[in-house]
Structure 1
């Protein structure tokens, strides 16, 4: 699932006339960069959620992803946030583990294809969520203090208040439908479900082996282009 329904407030004024997933980096939209990574990993079925300027997103998907089995998850009526958006799309996603990818990040693969890295690390009997994380020191254009600590087995725990954590969530995860059991109704953040999985010892991380950029604001665009050029 590609998350593409956000309002793009941090990317203003560029999002005044286009949805954030259609902002271009190095001549290609953020959404197309994500679709390229999906194709490279051999994924054939994709769900894209839409809300803000949904017609433009749908038209773009029809033009640029005709080779994929793409379904639109329509959130025109209500923006459901990250967690609510996935719950809304669950009937389209099936009963097996699936990727969830934010469309406002860019990555360059390391020695191993990133999505295949997640798939190879997945252990269904012990995991509800497997998050791709990157070292804070290597998180291009990211201004936070880190999101997670991770132990030697890959178990995640949250950054403590007023402290720094060594790993940043990249916006890429592999999850089981179990993660969304008894989820709240309506709009909510996936953070709620991650915290529940962390408490059960079922949230894990894997460290990204390549390059990554948080493309959340206009100032990040030249940094993302430089990252892609170097990668």
Structure 2
């Protein structure tokens, strides 16, 4: 299985840290955020990676190169402008191929074992869900018996972690350009084609300098 790491965001909530440094290069315990994922993927036996980028992307390519030093092979998908998640994935599909692939948001920090993620036959997506973090009032999806659904008003839900296994067929009919991922997942969930699992370990959305500092403490970086 190949993996795609999303690294094209501008990180505006992280300013001024991201004015001259792309968010995936910000360090947690002395290590670039993106490197945590790369090393975890390699440990899980996933060595073929696709990484998209836009804002200051040349810094990412210069830092990680082909990935050889970390035991992986990186193909880069450069975007002239951010295409949002689904648009960026669609652009990168020629590099990912026709088989299901692992998707990882580059701005989360987690201890999940990527080797545990699989896609059931006939499904279009397998989502990793987590308990709602303190900064988020409501969740994204319901999880019942391994099946992901869209919550009804007032129904409790979990947060999508930004980690999933996706089938390229999920993007059938999508027009090239900027497009979010959530509507595709919700439509597939309505059709009963999305599975899920809850991760109870460490997970953080590194969206602010405060959360970056918290991740550093949790990772032992002081």
TM-score by length of 1: 0.88
* Cα distance change, pair 44–63 in 1 and its aligned pair in 2 (3 A): closer
- Contact kept? 2:126, 2:194, Cα under 8 Å: yes
Deviations 1:117-147 (A, max 9, x none): 212xx2122x1010111122xx4x6434221
Give the one of 122, 126, 133 matched to 1:130: 126
Q: CA deviation at 1:98?
A: 0.3
Q: CA 1:88–1:30 in 2, change beyond 3 Å: closer, same or farther? A: same
Pick from 147, 150, 156 the counterpart of residue 155 of structure 1: 147
Q: Is the 8 A contact 1:32 1:64 kept in 2?
A: no
Q: Which residue of 1 aligns with 2:164?
A: 173
Deviation sequence 1:183-211 (CA, Å, 0-9, x none): 13310101121012112110121111421
Counterpart among 9, 22, 26 of residue 23 in structure 1? 26
Name 1:208's counterpart in structure 2.
199
Match in the other structure for 2:60: 57
Unaligned runs of 5+ in 2: none
Larger deviation, residues 167-176 vs 56-65: 56-65
1:189 and 1:222 map into 2 onto residues whose CA distance is 28
Structure 1 residue 107: deviation in Å? 0.7
Deviates more, 1:206-215 or 1:51-60: 206-215
Distance in structure 2 (CA, Å) of the matches to 1:28 and 1:63: 18
- CA distance, structure 1, for counterparts of residue 66 and residue 90 of structure 2: 27
Alignment check: 8 A CA contact 1:108 1:228 kept: no
CA RMSD of aligned residues (A): 1.8
Structure 2 SS opposite 1:14:
coil
The equivalent position to 1:37 in structure 2, one of 31, 37, 40, is: 40
Count residues in correspondence.
Answer: 217
* Structure 1 runs not aligned, ≥5 long: none
Bigger mean CA offset, 44-53 vs 178-187: 178-187
**2:90 alignment counterpart:** 87
Give the corresponding residue for 2:6: 3
Spell out, residue by residue over 1:101-127, the C-alpha distance to the aligned partner (whole angstroms, 9 max, x if none).
Answer: 001111124xxxx212212xx2122x1
| Aligned counterpart, 2:74 | 70
Contact 1:211 1:227 in 2 (8 A): no
